[in-house]
Amino acid sequence: MEHMKRTKQKKELDGCNTSKFVRYFNKTIRDNWRKDQKKNSRKALENILSAVYATIILHPHFTCNKQPKGLRSTYIKKLTGNYNYINCKIKIGTNINDTTKDKIIGTAKIGEIVWESISEGSLRKDNLEEWLNDHLWLWGFVTMGSTQHNNVVRNKHTLIQKVNFKHYKSRDREKIMNIIS
């Protein structure tokens, strides 16, 4: 049972590799974004690396019985997903002046994935760069209208469902699938 639990997150992440979104991201966005020397791209990459590295370092302090008083792993998990995002060049919506960036996977879900990957041992200090390269798509966002953003279903979908945009309205999902196909 313990072995099954320890590999669950890795299996879930690996299962996403065949999705249209992950294939689109890796082929169209990832390598160009990492090479991009623009200040925003460099800063986001540095933030993601720093947040995940800090989470790796802090993880043992939150999984032992001597957890620091007042500190909660929830805040550390959210650190990895907050303030860091990658433009996937997916834009839906008609009003250019009323847009927002929606993290496809979601801040809390990104934090949970990073936390569980550390817990099961698939994400460590010695493989941080490689792990991030394989899973950079987690930080991707869609630009959409604020009304569309308000209609995104939150905290009810699995990772596989999210990379297939099941948490979006069907018309928005269709637009996205046309863009990434």
Per-residue pLDDT of the chain (181 residues; tens, 9 = 90+): 444 444 788 889 999 999 999 999 999 999 888 777 676 677 888 889 999 998 999 888 777 666 666 666 677 777 777 777 898 999 997 676 788 899 999 988 999 899 999 999 999 999 999 999 999 999 999 999 888 888 899 889 999 999 999 999 999 999 999 999 9
Amino acid at 118: I
pLDDT for 2: 41
CB atoms within 10 A of CB 48: 22
> Is there a contact between 140 and 105 (Cβ–Cβ < 8 Å)?
yes
pLDDT for 65: 62
Pure H helices in 29-135: 31-35, 39-63, 73-81, 107-120, 128-135
- CA angle at 47 for the pair 88 and 105, rounded to the nearest 5°: 40
> Is there a contact between 84 and 48 (Cβ–Cβ < 8 Å)?
yes
Pure H helices in 64-122: 73-81, 107-120
Pairing of strands 140-145, 99-103: antiparallel
100's tokens: 């927002």
2 three-state secondary structure: helix
